[in-house]
Amino acid sequence: MNVPPFIPEPIEIPGNVAEQSRRACLRFVRRTVAFHALSALLIALVACVPLRWLPAEAPGVGALATLVALSAVRNLAKGYPADLRISVLLAPFLWVMLGLTAGALARQGWPVWAPLVGVGCSLLYTLLSGRDHSFVGQYVLSLAASSLAIALICREAGIGRPASLWAQALNAGCLFYLVYDLAAVLTRRLPKEEWGAVVDLYRDVLNFLTYSLRVWHHWRKHRIWSATK
């Protein structure tokens, strides 16, 4: 008797990066982290554009709408080349909207610059660790280095304790999400799909919604709750 699991299995595609040799897997991780750092740099550059009249709500809605569109593209074109092509085409618009949102929030006093420090430390670890790379090490060592750097920046810039604590918390949360999702992406991407993996690192923020729908559909398909009564 085949008993279905209580929750759906994680998505895996044949020939994914996690099934390749360690050398190929590490090459994919290094390139993905580097490309993601480039996208974060683009967001930071857009955030520096002096648009003081622009509120955070307008580009924030645009960024959210783009994330929803990217999630829809993945669900509708999963496994087809159109998924990667459309996602990469939509990504620059998402980064611009995120940059404008970050710039508006920064002008309101939010320490949105802090995750950029964590991204930079994560990139340095990934490039320097070589074959000793591990996702646990990537998070722990990057967090330690970026936390120290943020503390020094806050002290030199005269940033108060509440804002400094927010900066540390924001960096720790974003860094954890980045490393955790990067490890998960390896089973959902093929070699040479690094830019697709970068887009996944952004749109996976909405996974709590899409995964909830998967769980509901799984329960309905296999009548999970009916079987437990």
Could you read off the pLDDT of 173-198 as tens digits, one per residue?
999 999 999 999 999 899 989 999 99
Residue 7 has pLDDT above 50, yes or no: no
Nearest one of 172, 174, 184 to 135, comparing CA atoms:
184
The model's confidence at residue 220, banded by pLDDT at 50, 70 and 90, is low
Distance CA 9, CA 174 (A): 25
Query: 114 vs 18, 58, 110, 169, CA distance in Å?
Result: 30, 22, 10, 9
Count the helices and strands in the chain (H runs, E runs): 9, 0
Distance CA 119, CA 139 (A): 10
Check residues 53 and 90 and name the one with the higher pLDDT: 90
Whole-prediction pTM value? 0.85
Distance CA 30, CA 158 (A): 35
Q: How many residues does the chain have?
A: 229
Per-residue pLDDT at 117: 97
Per-residue pLDDT at 75: 80
Q: What are the tens digits of pLDDT across the range 96-137?
A: 999 999 999 999 889 999 999 999 999 999 999 989 999 999
Distance CA 58, CA 18 (A): 39
Q: Where are the beta strands (DSSP E) in 92-201?
A: none
Q: Quick check: 92 and 116 in contact, CB under 8 A?
A: no
Q: Please report how many Cα atoms fall inside a 13 Å half-sphere around the Cα of residue 184, on the Cβ side.
A: 14
Average pLDDT over the chain, rounded to an integer: 86
Structure tokens at 213: 């729908």
Structure tokens at 229: 């009564």
- Residue 32, classed as helix, strand or coil, is helix
Q: Quick check: 90 and 66 in contact, CB under 8 A?
A: yes
